């Protein structure tokens, strides 16, 4: 299963505070099945597995690109100590390829619709749907609108 390294800083948390938190990775559908035919479950990275100084941790999670039905992971954080109490959830789906990768790189965060990118290939989600990008792989460069 792929590794997804993260830092508490990715969640806006200061790792040097005395608060403890668990980081939880939950499938977006309740009965997702991997290629081996086994149901995947939620993974919890316990506070004791997160480095107290750097706030770094690693989640070993299922590759989501081969799950049936199509599925992504929902990332949440659960505070164990006093304030802030409760839990928080990241608003973007986590899609994990076979090779894994850093949490912040794998989150499917759409860019703002008014963003403009200049590059030789589609900017993907760096530009929101309706946003524009300049294809500079051709001469003269072409202005394109992201439609999906």
* pLDDT band (50, 70, 90) for residue 111: low
User: Hunting for tokens 């939620």 — which residue is that?
Assistant: 42
Task: Kindly list the distances between the CA atom of residue 75 and the CA atoms of 51, 53, 87, in Å, as whole numbers in the listed order.
Answer: 19, 22, 11
> 148 vs 13, 97, 107, 123, 128, CA distance in Å?
33, 21, 17, 11, 9
Tokens representing 64 are: 């989501």
- pTM, full prediction: 0.74
pLDDT in tens, 10-54: 777 766 566 788 999 999 998 899 888 889 999 999 999 998 888
| Predicted confidence (pLDDT) per residue in 131-148, tens digit | 777 888 888 888 887 765
* Backbone φ and ψ of 101, nearest 5°: 150, 170
Rounded alpha-carbon distances, angstroms, from residue 134 to 61, 80, 104: 36, 47, 25
């Amino acid at each position: 299963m792929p590794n997804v390294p993260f830092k508490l800083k990715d969640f806006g948390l200061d790792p040097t505070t005395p608060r403890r938190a668990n980081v939880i990775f939950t499938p977006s559908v309740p009965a997702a099945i991997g290629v081996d035919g086994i149901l995947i479950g939620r993974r919890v990275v316990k506070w004791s597995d997160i480095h107290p100084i750097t706030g770094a941790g690693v989640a070993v999670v299922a590759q989501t690109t081969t799950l049936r039905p199509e599925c992504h992971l929902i990332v949440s954080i659960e505070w164990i100590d006093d304030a802030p109490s409760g839990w928080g959830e990241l608003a973007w789906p986590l899609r994990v390829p076979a090779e894994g990768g850093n949490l912040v790189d794998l989150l499917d965060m759409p860019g703002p619709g008014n963003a403009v990118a200049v590059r030789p290939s589609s900017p993907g989600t760096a530009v929101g749907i309706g946003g524009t990008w300049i294809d500079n792989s051709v001469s003269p460069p072409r202005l394109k609108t992201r439609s999906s």
